[in-house]
Amino acid sequence: MSNHSVTEAKSHLSELIDRTLKGKDVVITGHGHPVVELKPVSPSPRRITETDIEWLRAHLIPCKGTEDAITSLCRTRDEDHE
């Protein structure tokens, strides 16, 4: 982890961002105390499209009787391995 004062962070922001994107921990300090930690932003999940929904419908595994979805999925998995 690297610590940098606010003044230093202002002067080297691009470099600190590059370090963060490479997986390095970067902390910015104010008056010698940690105040901010730089972290990469996770990409936002993509929106579900009509094509995704069509694929899910085509691959839908019907449940038997009153079976819940997890039980049905486990049963289907276990049948594939028999």
pLDDT tens, residue by residue, 50-70: 998 888 888 876 666 777 777
Q: Coil, strand or helix: which one is 64?
A: coil
Who has greater pLDDT, 42 or 80? 42
Instruction: For residue 61, give both structure tokens.
Output: 């595994």
Paired residues of 29 in beta bridges: 5, 34
Q: Where in the chain is the domain with CATH 3.40.1620.10?
A: 2-38
3-class SS of residue 38: strand
Predicted model pTM: 0.52
CATH class given for the domain over 2-38: alpha beta
Give the number of other Cβ atoms within 10 Å of residue 28's Cβ.
20
pLDDT, one tens digit per residue, over 3-42 is 999 999 999 999 999 999 999 999 999 999 999 999 998 8
